[in-house]
Structure 1
Amino acid sequence: MAHSPSQRISVLPSLEKPLALLFVDIADSTMLYERIGNATAAALTQRVLAHLRRLVEEQRGGVIKSLGDGLLAAFPVCDDSARAACAMIGIQDLHGMRLRIGIHFGAVIEGVGDLYGDACNVAARVQQIARPGEILATQALVDGLSPDQRSRTKPLSNVAMKGKAAPIRVHQIRSADEADDAIESTTLGFSLVPEAGRSMVTLHLSYRGQDITMSRGLPRVTIGREDSSGLRIASRQTSRQHAVIDFTRESFLLTDHSTNGTYIRSGGSPPVVLRRDSTKLVGSGLIGFGAEALDESQDHVVAFRGELA
């Protein structure tokens, strides 16, 4: 007798079972409702969610619940969750939307129409820090992938999460086309081991006594007001998910995703202002997340310094 996807992943009450958990959310859905109106946006959202459900079921997963503008799905096999995520990213342009996706593998307990456990919280957190159009996965999920699927992942930063004693390593999962193209910061992979005879480029970030050193070993840092940020900025002028710095092609690329913009001051040059744009960080200076950087003591300002180690 054939079983539905939800039956295939069902577990007995009070018994834990390891599953790959996928959270997907429509990015900037609030702006969508403002732009095209409630009725039209709601109808479009429902069409997208129905399409996402079909993609989950095609990869032998089950949708656990709807989350307003997103879904929680579960898969017995890590590879299936990664394939479903890539398929979701692949249909974004069809609907004119961008999705944020987070995946984690861990033990959960199934309740009535829901899953419970720390693994659910981790997967939700990973989805929240993903950029529009991006798939992020934890180390636990990546460890469960086949070699073919694992080759499409790119290690990013260690992310601090509430309730966790140690940061969690986060990876980006790329579609087959992105992995083949391997261009710019979001699709270019790096070896974690320096090549023989080459100096390692590093970028030092300093904020209120906290120091972060970026390199091939830590090729990405998320910056914002959210607790889950790799570098949390305690300023009202800073957006919750303000910016990201990626190590790419032997340089560091800062990309702004904020409301108020990012201000970069280096040497005696006029400040560079980013609004949903990117620039390379060169030399040393100050970065103002949400307002101009006048002094390192300001609560929105981070000092940076690049060097060869």
Structure 2
Amino acid sequence: MPDDKVKRRLTTVLCADVYGYSRLMEADEAGTLEALRRSRAAIARLVERHDGRIVNTWGDAVIAEFASVVEAVQSAIEIQQEISDQESVAPQASAMRFRIGINLGDVMVDGTNIYGDGVNIASRLQELADPGGVVISSSVYDQVHNKLSVGFDCLGQRPMKNIAPLTSYRLTLGGQAAAQAGIPMPENRTPSQSARAPGIDDRREPSSSTNAVSDWLGRLPRPVAVALTVSAFLITINLFTGAHKIWFHWPVAIILLGAALRTVLGRRPERDRS
């Protein structure tokens, strides 16, 4: 008797399609078809480079699978970069841009084809991607977030047609990919500044405040400046070692009095000479 048992496997599924394909075909059928062939050739080459295989193509869509999650995401990044380079010379209205979704999940195998929720989820994730962008499922994110030099924006749980909501992530590839993914970048910042960890800019304020205090002390008579610095040091020690017992006022008073006397006495000879 034939073995009718359904074969399953865990695999990484990549789904890609052309954004605005119908509009592009309506505007220029021959040019769009030629651009699609060129893009598919690039996709097939990059999928193969990362040990994946093209499962199916129909219309403007491409489905591929990979044994490695990391290789699948790396392939998607290179696909978007190469297609962007190819279409950079085309007018903006006719440029061909793909959206890519990637999912790690269980699939049913029928010959060379794969089916099931693992494929459907990848297809829905692709619909969430921006033109030229990549969106991955949380199962993919768990495997790659500490293995690739890219950023990830959590999209939360977005509703998807006939699929239970799941957490997804959008890839950000620095300044260029951020623009492709629709992430605005402040005009007065470079990509490296925008990628800086939160809080670095905030640390500039204390630095400027310290400079202001130093300038102010520099304008004071030297004995007064030294006395104030030592007094602040003693007050800090008192507050950190036992605020319940105040003792700093006595040494501080003596230091300030001595500084004041030294300043006054130091100026008296100058007045006498005048």
- Judge same fold: TM > 0.5, yes or no: yes
Picking from 170, 173, 178, the partner of 2:171 is 173
Per-residue CA distance 1:89-119 (angstroms, 9 max, x = gap): 1012333221100001001121133211111
1:59 to 46, 50, 71: 50
Does the aligned pair in 1 maintain the 2:150–2:173 contact within 8 Å?
no
| Aligned 8 A contact 1:142 1:150 in 2 | no
| Aligned residue number for residue 101 of structure 2 | 102
- 2:131 aligns to what SS in structure 1? coil
- Say how many residue pairs are matched: 181
- Offset of 1:29 from its aligned partner? 1.5
Distance 2:158 2:105 in 1: 17
The DSSP-based 3-state class of the residue aligned with 2:59 is coil
Deviation per CA, 1:224-267: give whole Å up to 9, x if none: xxxxxxxxxxxxxxxxxxxxxxxxxxxxxxxxxxxxxxxxxxxx
Which ranges of structure 1 fall in alignment gaps of 5 or more residues? 1-11, 199-309
- Kindly indicate whether the alpha-carbon contact (under 8 Å) linking 2:102 and 2:140 is maintained by their aligned counterparts in 1: yes
- Change over 3 Å in CA distance of 1:18–1:99 after alignment to 2: same
Match of residue 16, structure 1, among 4, 8, 24: 8
- Give the structure with the larger helix fraction: 2
Structural mapping, 1:92-131, within 5 Å: 92-96=83-87, 97-131=96-130
Aligned-residue offset at 1:182? 12
Tell me the CA shift for residue 168 of structure 1: 0.5
1:118–1:144: structure 2 CA closer, same or farther, 3 Å change rule? same
> Distance in 2 between the 1:159 and 1:190 partners?
28
Aligned-partner Cα distance in 1 for 2:173–2:134: 9
**Structure 2 unaligned residues grouped into runs of 5+:** 88-95, 186-193, 203-274
Distance 1:190 1:134, change over 3 A: farther
**Displacement after TM superposition at 1:186 (Å):** 6.2
Alpha-carbon separation, structure 2, partners of 1:50 and 1:82: 18
Contact 1:13 1:109 in 2 (8 A): no
Given the superposition, is the C-alpha separation of residues 31 and 182 from structure 1 closer, same or farther in structure 2, using an over 3 Å criterion? closer
TM-score (norm 2): 0.58
Shift of the alpha carbon at 1:155?
1.1
Is the 2:124–2:161 Cα contact (8 Å) retained in structure 1? no
1: CA distance, partners of 2:43 / 2:181? 27
AA aligned to 1:94 is D
TM-score when scaled to structure 1? 0.52
Structure 1 pair 182/103, CA: closer, same or farther in 2 (3 Å)? closer
Tell whether the 8 Å contact from 2:101 to 2:122 is kept in structure 1 after alignment.
yes
CA contact (8 A) 1:154 1:190 kept: no
Shift of 1:35: 2.3
Taking only the aligned residue pairs, the percentage that are identical comes to 24
Please tell me the root mean square deviation across aligned C-alpha atoms, in Å.
3.2
**Secondary structure, counterpart of 2:74 in structure 1:** helix
Greater mean alpha carbon deviation, residues 69-78 or residues 146-155: 146-155
Q: 1:179 to 1:91 in 2, by over 3 A?
A: closer
Matching residue of 1:32: 24
Task: Please name the residue that 2:77 is paired with.
Answer: 86
Residues 128-147 of structure 1 correspond to what in structure 2 (within 5 A)?
128-145=127-144, 147=146
Q: Which has the higher contact order (CA 8 A, sep 6+)?
A: 2
Compute the displacement of 1:180 (Å): 9.5
Contact 2:137–2:169 (8 Å) recurs in 1: yes
For 2:155, the equivalent position in structure 1 comes to: 156
Larger Rg, first or second structure (1 or 2): 2
User: How far did residue 178 of structure 1 move?
Assistant: 4.8
2: CA distance between counterparts of 1:26 and 1:116? 21
Distance verdict in 2 for CA 1:189–1:116, change over 3 Å: farther
User: Which residue number in structure 2 is paired with residue 290 of structure 1?
Assistant: none
Equivalent position amino acid for 2:123 in 1: A
